[in-house]
Structures are given as C-alpha cells and as structure tokens.
Structure 1
Amino acid sequence: MSVKIGNIDLGEFPLLLAPMEDVSDPPFRYVCKQGGADMMYTEFISSEGLIRSAAKSRQKLDIFEYERPIGIQIFGSDIESMREATEIATLAGPDLMDINYGCPVKNVACRGAGSALLQDIDKMVKMTEAVVKATHLPVTVKTRLGWDDNTKNVEEVAERLQDIGIQALTIHGRTRAQLYKGEADWTLIREIKRNPRIKIPIFGNGDIDSPEKAANWRLEYGVDGMMIGRAAIGYPWIFREIKHFFATGEHLEGPTLEERVAACRTHFTKSIEWKGPKVGVFEMRRHYSNYFKGLPDFKPYRTQLVKEENIETIYALLDEITDKYSNIAPVTEMA
C-alpha cells in the first residue's frame, strides 16, 4: 500500500533524505535524487532569519522541479515568527512544510527551538497549530524520543500533533541529551506505530547505514518509511542499494570508481552553479573524502583537492583519480 502525505504519493516504503545543516543543499540533494531518494528536505531554516530576509535563510528556500516532492523545514522558538515564516516558505512552492523539533545542537536548543520544545509540549502544540493554519500545504514534523532518558514523551507528542492536523511524523531514535552518540533506539517508534490512535505515517530515523539494517528494522519496527541522513553523505547510492535489497534480498554491487568520480564531479558542478565559484569550491571541500572513502593512499589527492581554488585544476584532479584507481574493484561496503 502506498504511503501518502496529503495528496503526495510516496510509493510503498519511501526512503527520505534527512535535512542536514550545511549538507543537504541543492547540489547534495541533486546527487541523492539520482541515487534514489523518494523525498527530500531543505536544510533547516530559521524562522527569524526568514522574517528578517537574512540572505542565508532566503537562499535555503531555493528548490528545483527535479527535486519534487520536497519539503521546506523551519525551526524557531516564537509562535508568531513560525506562523509568518510558514507563509513566506509556502510562497517558495514546496510540496510540504516540515517543523524541526529534533535539532539537538546548543545554539538551536538553548534558544528554545528544535528539540527544546520537547520540554514544553503545550507550546509545541500551539506552534504546530499556528503553522498548520498558516499554509494550505501538508505539515509534517521531525522530532526525537524526548529531552532525556527521564522524559521520553514522543508518544504524547505524536497523538497531540496528529490531533491538530500534522500529516506525518519522523522520529529520530535518540533523546536530545544523546545528541548523535550511542545507538538509536527504535522501540518507542514501534510503540507509536502500533498505537491504534495513530493514523498518520510514521518514519524512523537514526543509524540506518546498510541495506540489511534497513530490511531488518523495516520488519522489526513496522515503520512506514525511513529517513536517512549521515549515511548518504558521500554515498548517495545508499537509497538504490536499500531498494534493491528490499526487492531481491541481494546486494547491489557498490558504485564503480567512475560512478564515484561522476557523482563527485556533478556535486562540484552544481555547487559552483548554485553558490558561485568561490563559495562553491570552498563548501565542496568537506565532501571529497566521503566520496573516495576506502581508496588506498588517497590522502595526497585529498590534500590537493581541499587546497585547490582553480576549478579547472579540480576537474583535472578528478580525471587523474579516475586514471590512477581505474583498476581497483568497486568498494562494495560503506565505510
């Protein structure tokens, strides 16, 4: 049976690309869409920044036709600002609006936004209601299990937010206190999925980094789909590999060296197109080592790539990598 958010049909078991700050910009989303992501989100956008027309926040509203279906994710601590930001973001033409109640980082949570709202569910409910009323688009939410081990209140969150009109919920299987440490625990996510009151799609997030784990957890936890974040960085093929494993029970061979170089080149080209040459070159530097993980003696190339400022030289280096490593078998497992 297809999973639907409003009138968006996501197919039988969708794989979503998580919104990741400083990662899931349009160039990165482009390669993940090619890799098989069913739905994607912008980086999270500050509601205050949108209202002030801060350039960085406005730029994050850029979405492209090939990315659909795509959601714009916003966060904030003030209800009125969130309502206004929703109106602004809706005009950018996404397919849905998503609210971040999951971000654990200090400069978000300590300002009363992101996962901080897990400490004030009444306010979270009012804020969500304001967002739902401010847009004609479906509204979804991403959150965590709770603030810490003593306050795992996501079950109450799920019921109350469903009651005021959200149309899907993604739950990261950690508390705010855990940040990204330890292992994600999906048992509470399963409880929510089994709750007879819950009718909206429930997506699981946290630690999905291999086709086997995705297949096992799909059976074990019964979620409607999965959101993948860190495992897609430098490895956009994870989506197609999981889908292939679901369909056949067999591993798809990992990307060839040519595919890895091509994805890196595409990401680089899109980065320059979207951000301009200077910023595009600079922001691509964090991605090279991820694309070429596992290649022996790669360090000298990595050093050159992260220092180089000339675009043509970077393309030439990527060609050189193809020649040097062309006789190496594909890296089939993700590091």
Structure 2
Amino acid sequence: IIDINMGCPANKVLKGCAGAALMGDLKLAETIIRTVRNAISIPLTVKFRLGLDNDRRNYLELGRICEANGVQAVAMHARTAREMFSGAADSSWHHLARLKESLSIPVIGNGDVREPDDALRLLAETGCDGVMVGRGATRNPWIFRQIAARLAGSGVSEPTLEDRRELVLSHFRLVAEREPSTFALHKLRKFTGWYTHGLPNGRHLRQAINQIPDVPSFLATVEAFFDGTAVEQAA
C-alpha cells in the first residue's frame, strides 16, 4: 500500500508545498494522485484534513478527486492545517460523517482517538469504515488490541509491567541498531517519556536519562528501572 500524506500541518512541510499545503492547490493534488495511481498496481490511499483553515474547508472536493482517480480509501483528520493539534477534534467529527456520506470508497476517521472507547464513539457517530490512531498510540501502543477487544464486546486489559518492559526494551534496541548514537539518544528520551507515563517513579527515570551520554548506558538504566519496579511491586 502507498499512502499520500496531504494532511501534515508542520510549517517546514507546508513551506515546501507538501502535506496539507496541497489542499490549497487541488489541481496539483489531483496531478500527484493521478500520477501515482497510474504508476503503481498496489492499493493507494490519501490522508488529508478539513482544509487549510476554517474559511477553506475543501475536504469534500479533495475526497471526490481521490475517488475519481482510483484511490482505494481516504483518511481524514478532523482539524484544519491551521489548527494543527489544538482544540478538540471530536467536535468536528460531523465532517467525517459528511465525507462518508459523499463517497463510495472507504473513509477512515482520525483525530483525538486517545482511548479505546473513543474509537467506538467515532465509528458510531460518523459511520466511518475504520479508525486511524496517531498520537494516542505513543503513550499506549496497546490501544490497537484494546480497540479490537472493545469491538468484539470484551473488556479492555491494561498492559502489565512485563508487557511494558518487553515493548520498551525491544523498541529501544531496534532504534539503537538503526540510528547513529546522537539521534538514537534523542528518540529514546522522547519515547521513554511516553512509555513510562503513569508508572511509579517514572518521573525519576525521565530526569535521570537526560544526563546519560551513550546508548548502552541508557539501555542499562531503563532495564534497571524495570527490574527495580518489578521488585517493588512484588514486595
């Protein structure tokens, strides 16, 4: 599958006439979509936002362009580019419903799905065919299995300490293998903040890792943190 991201609101992306900036030039957007569609045989999807701002909400037009040019599915974030990630996207979920009503191809809803029940509510309120989770997965990578459980009518199980340990350390080791040390440390510090949110003594770990100069010491510190937390919970 190839996904064209016409929804990124980052300024450095907009300045390059990419991401959500393409919603300000639908002719160019259509040319890109058609060119990619003609060049590939695998499924093509496009993600976009409501528009550049509240005065230029043209998501219905872009959605129809996607459908007319052979896109298999679209995903929409229920904010404008100017809003970035401010405000409450769920107050604009009704636009997802409008898009779904206007197209015959699958529509995937995105925006402020932070908890499993948010996904169920989005599906119920909009009629969307699927849900896209973005930032909600950074603090809770288990949200996907939790959503699946709720859709199946089951309860939500919280990750155990061992679940967290296994995911964090395996993820961190993969980052360390693939990234230069400086970039790896930056990423590891960022993800540690997300992954340890809500854990006992997580704040102390987040403070400690800012002083660690190399990746091996970083990994050893994180592993020691989980070992110590496990001992405390068993006491």
Deviation by residue 1:29-62 (Cα, 9 ceiling, x = unmatched): xxxxxxxxxxxxxxxxxxxxxxxxxxxxxxxxxx
Which structure has greater helix proportion? 2
Q: Secondary structure at the match of 2:190?
A: coil
Deviation by residue 1:62-82 (Cα, 9 ceiling, x = unmatched): xxxxxxxxxxxxxxxxxxxxx
Match of 1:110 in 2: 15
CA distance in 2, matches of 1:282, 1:183: 29
Q: TM-score, normalised by structure 2?
A: 0.90
Match of 2:26 in 1: 121
Match of 1:193 in 2: 100
**1:133 is the counterpart of 2:38:** yes
**1:257 is the counterpart of 2:138:** no
Q: Please, which of 107, 112, 119 is the counterpart of residue 202 of structure 1?
A: 107
**Residue 247 (structure 1) shift:** 0.9
Q: Secondary structure at the match of 1:141?
A: strand
Tell me the C-alpha RMSD between the 2 structures: 1.9
**1:212 is the counterpart of 2:102:** no
**Residue 143 (structure 1) shift:** 0.3
CA distance in 2, matches of 1:121, 1:137: 23
> Which residue identity lines up with residue 190 of structure 1 in the other structure?
A
**1:305 is the counterpart of 2:209:** yes
Q: Given that residues 268 and 281 in structure 1 are in contact (C-alpha distance below 8 angstroms), is that contact kept between their aligned partners in structure 2? A: no
**1:274 is the counterpart of 2:153:** no
Identity of aligned residues (%): 32
CA distance in 2, matches of 1:214, 1:274: 33
* Structure of greater relative contact order (alpha carbons < 8 Å, 6+ residues apart): 1
Match of 1:155 in 2: 60
> Which residue identity lines up with residue 111 of structure 2 in the other structure?
G
CA distance in 2, matches of 1:234, 1:285: 13
> Which residue identity lines up with residue 213 of structure 1 in the other structure?
D
Q: Secondary structure at the match of 2:17?
A: coil
Equivalent residue pairs, number: 231
Q: Given that residues 169 and 223 in structure 2 are in contact (C-alpha distance below 8 angstroms), is that contact kept between their aligned partners in structure 1? A: no
Match of 2:223 in 1: 319
CA distance in 2, matches of 1:314, 1:114: 35
Gaps spanning 5+ residues in structure 2: where?
none
Q: Secondary structure at the match of 2:164?
A: helix
> Which residue identity lines up with residue 318 of structure 1 in the other structure?
V
**Residue 296 (structure 1) shift:** 3.4
Gaps spanning 5+ residues in structure 1: where?
1-95, 330-335
Q: Given that residues 118 and 124 in structure 1 are in contact (C-alpha distance below 8 angstroms), is that contact kept between their aligned partners in structure 2? A: yes
Structure 1: 4+ residue segments shifted above 6 A: none
> Which residue identity lines up with residue 244 of structure 1 in the other structure?
A
Q: Please, which of 66, 73, 98 is the counterpart of residue 168 of structure 1?
A: 73
**Residue 171 (structure 1) shift:** 0.3
With over 3 angstroms needed to count, the CA separation of the structure-2 counterparts of 1:111 and 1:323, relative to structure 1, is closer
Q: Given that residues 107 and 128 in structure 2 are in contact (C-alpha distance below 8 angstroms), is that contact kept between their aligned partners in structure 1? A: yes
Of residues 276-285 and 172-181 in structure 1, the stretch that sits farther from structure 2 once superposed is 276-285
The within-5 A match list for 1:203-242 is: 203-242=108-147
Q: TM-score, normalised by structure 1?
A: 0.65
Q: Given that residues 234 and 288 in structure 1 are in contact (C-alpha distance below 8 angstroms), is that contact kept between their aligned partners in structure 2? A: no
Q: Given that residues 202 and 225 in structure 1 are in contact (C-alpha distance below 8 angstroms), is that contact kept between their aligned partners in structure 2? A: yes
With over 3 angstroms needed to count, the CA separation of the structure-2 counterparts of 1:177 and 1:315, relative to structure 1, is closer
Match of 2:197 in 1: 293
Q: Secondary structure at the match of 1:142?
A: strand
Q: Secondary structure at the match of 1:207?
A: coil
